[in-house]
Structure 1
């Protein structure tokens, strides 16, 4: 029995020695040779899908295992991306969009996995390919490019002024005296033919007597011509036509002449006073028709190229919010204000309710729309950096191509595209800035990837020297 125990102990001891020897050969011998090599990365000792660019420990305090370039990655530790997709992974890019790539899986400083870039996704046309799930999550929307009329509104301030063609002035053309003034004051409304005042003028009385003498004379020959001259003298003295007609009918020269309103309107100015002496040229009444007024709008010089006579204008008075007045551009004044760099335009507005008063402030919206349809995209489709204007063209199957465009007029939520797009192409209108960021990142990474081999070659050449 003792002999049997001794033999068993020797056998076990020899096995332990052989096992220890083999263990040393398998584990520690490579470690000695590995000291001269640099690991590609470090993998999780438990076989999980975790990677590290440098030495680290797991949550149990175990060291991550180094992986060298001549070692195959164990099947159980391969990244899930390689197991899911049969395509070749070109490189891994930083998940935060930094210009940092890795030939092997790794994590950034925040513990986020680097994103694989597969062969086929790195196209030369700059297109970006997104999965259906990512398109849905980011809210990417596209719509086809169409031709439409661009409605551009030019906004400008202005004031209301009277139509100078609708203003009448009553002034004496000879020395006169105001005998009587009707109950008409400044601001009152008058009708055409309504009496305003009675005037006595020796010049008018003399002309009236002369005219009556000629038309009542029975002298033969030349009377008709002489009578027309006498009547014209009354007209030149601005005697109202109804007064002359009454003289011809009654054959009586009036002592005083009744002056009446020449038009419907508002009395802007009354200077006539009973008993006063009026010299030639003195304005006694000023009357204006306010049923049509002018809106004088000051348009910025930069918008002058889109303004033309006949364009529709909507005017809003600040005194009447919610009320609009519509007219058309009648005249563009041929002068630029050197102080404000504006050009004045004139819009004729109907004012039947007399709400628009002279010198009232208004705001004008000038519709400069061109009836000719042009190729246009929504405002949200354009990525404008100031020096670069681009859109993202939806090529289908999740591929989006950045394309620079030349833009034209803007208005109504759309922008005219003069070059870069064709009718019927689809452009991204929502979440396009995310795709653009992806495209710019892709171009930057590609530039780094192309520069890396050149740098390595240059370094190798320097070492050989």
Structure 2
């Protein structure tokens, strides 16, 4: 075989080998059990998640930034959301509470004045002129019983009316055998005289004594119309008492009123029959049970309050008219979604809370509130049961703090600790 032929044969074998290698199926690489490392999206400050960098770097204490991967990237935050590291949460004293369904009640507190029950007030007045000859009750504040003698009264009019009645009774007896017309006329005269004595307030016992004696009584005993206390006494022995003049004011204080002033915005929580507690400075540590008897129909325009009348038992007479009282009225509890009152941030134009989203993220959430209880407030819109809200932090200075200042306190704490942020990658790149 010539050299030229051998050379051509070797070239053909080489081309076939190359073609066979290219066309032959390639074996799959053996599994090693090691997955390719994913590429981080960015790197986050180990103590302040709000500070990030596009490249690996160390913080001011020499700690490496934490890589954040696509599958672990945090969800998009709502506008205004603030992120805090664990140290900032601890420094600010952030505490949270759950929004939960509970029975919400509110205690309405008001001040009031003790007053006598108007239905238990009695005036002793005459319906004819007379003269007071003797006083049996001669001091204001004296306790009296129903039917107890108050004073002895002499009256020419009363004496004449008694004699007229006795004459009519005597004539009625004398005409018992007479004709029907004469008897009827005399009977009408006797009944008219007796009716006049009754209308003047002469007691039935005195009328019976008049009939039994058959002679007019010179003086009439005026008695107390009820149990009670003499609040005012205008009667003086020997004075002339004119018809219509009030001689005694008597009050039954076994039951009294407390008239409380309830503010306009709280009057919707009050209803007749509601229970209450009354406290007085005169008896520290002691409470008196009461019941709402009446809610007055008019509002006091000057004080923007409505009068609420409470009824109390006063068997020992401890409660005295014109005493000042502190009143607590317990409104009927009702189920509601509620959060602590300290969680509410009121800017004046809107009401919001800080919602704990976890991982140090806090979202401002506007809410609509309802009934305010003693330590909680009803949430009508903006939250669901189980949501966590911030209830304590150093930026909650007082009730006049607005939302802008509150949220700014969070941001200021972060920017002071680390001036760089995710929005400024160029500075981190220079490290």
When normalised by structure 2's length, the TM-score is 0.69
**Deviation readout 1:384-437 (Å, 9 max, x if unpaired):** 555332253678x999876443221121322212123344x2535766789x97
Gaps of 5+ in 1: 1-84, 454-465
1:427 and 2:394 correspond: no
Change (3 A) 1:144 1:234: same
1:362 and 2:331 correspond: no
1:414 and 2:369 correspond: no
Contact 1:95–1:113, Cα closer than 8 Å, also in 2: no
Gaps of 5+ in 2: 1-36, 176-182, 396-405, 426-431
Q: Which of 101, 117, 125 is the matching residue for 1:146?
A: 101
Contact 1:392–1:403, Cα closer than 8 Å, also in 2: yes
Change (3 A) 1:113 1:208: farther
1:221 match: secondary structure: helix
CA drift of 1:253 comes to 2.5
Q: Which of 320, 337, 341 is the matching residue for 1:379?
A: 341
Q: How many residues align?
A: 358
Deviates more, 1:268-277 or 1:130-139: 130-139
1:192 and 2:146 correspond: yes
1:289 and 2:239 correspond: no
Contact 1:89–1:116, Cα closer than 8 Å, also in 2: no
1:186 match: secondary structure: coil
Contact 1:175–1:201, Cα closer than 8 Å, also in 2: yes
Distance (Å, rounded) in 1 between the aligned partners of 2:107 and 2:62:
50
The structure whose RCO (Cα within 8 Å, separation 6+) is larger is 2
CA drift of 1:298 comes to 1.3
Distance (Å, rounded) in 1 between the aligned partners of 2:188 and 2:39:
113
Distance (Å, rounded) in 2 between the aligned partners of 1:373 and 1:245:
66
Report the equivalent of 2:115.
161
Change (3 A) 1:245 1:367: farther
Change (3 A) 1:185 1:89: same
2:164 match: secondary structure: helix
**Deviation readout 1:63-87 (Å, 9 max, x if unpaired):** xxxxxxxxxxxxxxxxxxxxxx988
1:235 match: secondary structure: helix
Q: Which of 207, 217, 220 is the matching residue for 1:244?
A: 207
1:228 match: secondary structure: helix
Change (3 A) 1:202 1:113: farther
Report the equivalent of 2:75.
123
Report the equivalent of 2:8.
none
1:333 match: secondary structure: strand
Q: Which of 255, 262, 272 is the matching residue for 1:309?
A: 272
When normalised by structure 1's length, the TM-score is 0.65
Contact 1:174–1:203, Cα closer than 8 Å, also in 2: yes
2:247 match: secondary structure: strand
Give the 5 Å matches for 1:74-113. Answer: 88=40, 90-92=42-44, 102-104=53-55, 105=57, 107=59
